[in-house]
Amino acid sequence: MTAMARITSSVYTSHVPAIGVAMDLGKTEEPYWRPLFAGYEPSRRWMAENTPDVVFLVYNDHANAFSLDLIPTFAIGCAEHFQPADEGWGPRPVPVVKGHPELASHIAQSVIQDDFDLTIANKMDVDHGLTVPLSLMFGQPQQWPCAVIPFAVNVVQYPVPSGRRCLALGRAIRKAVESFDQPLKVQIWGTGGMSHQLQGARAGLINKDFDNAFLDRLIADPEAASQIPHIDYVREAGSEGIELVMWLIARGAMDDVPPKLVHRFYHVPASNTAVGHLILENP
Ligand code: DHB
Ligand code: FE
Model confidence pLDDT, tens digit, residues 77-107: 999 999 999 999 999 999 999 999 999 999 9
DSSP string of 126-180, one letter each residue: B-HHHHHHHHHHH-S-SS-SSEEEEEEE--SSSS---HHHHHHHHHHHHHHHHT-
Give CA angle at 192 (222, 103), nearest 5°: 75
User: Which bound ligand lies closest to the C-alpha atom of 60?
Assistant: 2
Length of the chain: 283
Confidence band, pLDDT 50/70/90 cuts, at residue 140: very high
Give, for ligand 1, the residue of 153, 157, 196 to mutate: max count of ligand atoms closer than 8 Å to Cβ.
Answer: 196
Relative to the CA of 192, which ligand 1 atom is closest?
4
C-alpha 256 – ligand 1 centre gap (Å):
32
pLDDT greater than 70 at residue 1 = no
Query: 3-state class of 157 per DSSP?
Result: coil
Amino acid (1-letter code) at residue 170? G
What pLDDT shows up at residue 188? 99
**Dihedral over alpha carbons 13, 19, 20, 24 (to 10 degrees):** -140
Confidence band, pLDDT 50/70/90 cuts, at residue 2: confident
Query: Is the link from the previous residue into 159 a cis peptide, with omega within 30 of 0?
Result: yes
pLDDT digit string (tens) for 192-250?
999 999 999 999 999 999 999 999 999 999 999 999 999 999 999 999 999 999 999 99
C-alpha 2 – ligand 2 centre gap (Å):
40
Active-site residue identified among 15, 62, 100, 128: 128
Relative to the CA of 18, which ligand 1 atom is closest?
11
In the residue annotation, 196 being an active-site residue is answered as: yes
What pLDDT shows up at residue 211? 98
Domain residue extents for the chain: 6-281
The number of beta carbons lying within 10 Å of the beta carbon of residue 31 is: 6
Query: Is the link from the previous residue into 269 a cis peptide, with omega within 30 of 0?
Result: yes
Q: What distance in Å separates the CA atoms of residue 140 and residue 150, rounded to the nearest whole number?
A: 19
Percentage of the chain exceeding pLDDT 70: 100
Q: Which CATH class is domain 6-281?
A: alpha beta
C-alpha 273 – ligand 1 centre gap (Å):
7
Q: Nearest residue CA, atom 10 of ligand 1?
A: 272
Q: Nearest residue CA, atom 6 of ligand 1?
A: 16
Check if the beta carbon of residue 190 is closer than 8 Å to that of residue 198. no
Max Cα–Cα distance, the chain, nearest Å: 59
Q: What is the mean pLDDT of residues 132-147?
A: 98
Q: Nearest residue CA, atom 1 of ligand 1?
A: 16
Q: What is the mean pLDDT of residues 62-88?
A: 97
Q: What distance in Å separates the CA atoms of residue 74 and residue 59, rounded to the nearest whole number?
A: 10
pLDDT digit string (tens) for 151-203?
999 999 999 999 999 999 999 999 999 999 999 999 999 999 999 999 999 99
Relative to the CA of 196, which ligand 1 atom is closest?
10
As for ligand 1, residues whose beta carbon falls within 6 Å of it are 15-18, 62, 196, 198, 240, 271-273
137-145: long-range contacts at Cβ-Cβ below 8 A with a sequence spacing of 24 or more?
A: 137/11, 137/13, 137/40, 137/43, 137/44, 137/47, 137/189, 138/44, 138/47, 139/44, 140/23, 140/94, 141/95, 142/95, 143/95, 143/98, 144/95, 144/97, 144/98, 145/51
What pLDDT shows up at residue 112? 98
**Dihedral over alpha carbons 87, 88, 94, 95 (to 10 degrees):** 70
Active-site residue identified among 62, 100, 106, 196: 196
